[in-house]
A = this chain, B = another copy of it.
Amino acid sequence: MNLIDQLNWRYATKRMNGAKVPQEKVDRILEAIRLAPTSFGLQPFKVIVVEDISLREKIFNEACHQPQMKEGSHVLVFAANKKVSAEQIDDYMQLIAATREISVDSLSGFRASFDGIVAGIAEKNYAWTARQAYIAFGVGIAAAAMEEVDATPMEGFSVEALDKVLGLTEQNLSAVTILALGYRDEANDRLAKAAKVRKSKETLLEFR
């Protein structure tokens, strides 16, 4: 399967038909998200996978009034860390040490490179953690296309309401973006057959 063909096949599906995405496909999309690179490898975010229809209805009513929330079968909420803490960095050092079978002490130089981030202001931290979540979001979009699963990126929601419904604030998280997974309803989605609109190579790219 060819990524370019799949990216041409995909589109921001506005109406979905309620069919359930098979678990093995969801799992592969989530695995791609898990493998996505992030700055320093820190992965300063979490992905909340919402399948339960009553919870999706609650989100629809209170935070994100878009039909894919109910017509899809799974909704992935990308939530970034509001603040990067020293504990989080310590956990990450433990994870590296365990994975690579090295001592935590041998990572002291790498550990020090996080000092500025941990000491940094929360606002700036969050701008950075949000960007890391977006890398995984982009990889997840590509993965869904490869699985022939329709995926709608959705930024139009109330962050405050969604954080509340999912209890994200207590976890030092805040929702940054959503990916709804499901299958297109071609009869009712006027965009299903619309030509894809993209800037030309000449406009988007500059060769130097």
Q: Does A142 contact B (CB under 8 A)?
A: yes
Q: Does A35 contact B (CB under 8 A)?
A: yes
CB neighbours (8 Å) of A195 from chain B are 99-100
Please choose the segment from A14-22, A65-73, A133-141 that sits at the chain B interface, where 4 or more of its residues have CB less than 8 A away: A133-141
For the side of the interface on A, what is the size category? Answer: 35 or more
Report the copy number of this chain in the oligomer: 2
Interface residues of chain A: helix, strand, loop or mixed (majority):
helix
Q: Per-residue 0/1 for A183-198: is the Cβ within 8 Å of any B Cβ (1 yes, 0 no)?
A: 0000000000011111
Give A residues with C-beta under 8 Å from B. Answer: 1, 3-4, 7-8, 10, 12, 28, 30-37, 39, 41, 43, 45-52, 55, 95-96, 99-100, 127, 130-131, 134-143, 146, 153, 155, 166, 176-177, 194-199, 201, 204-208
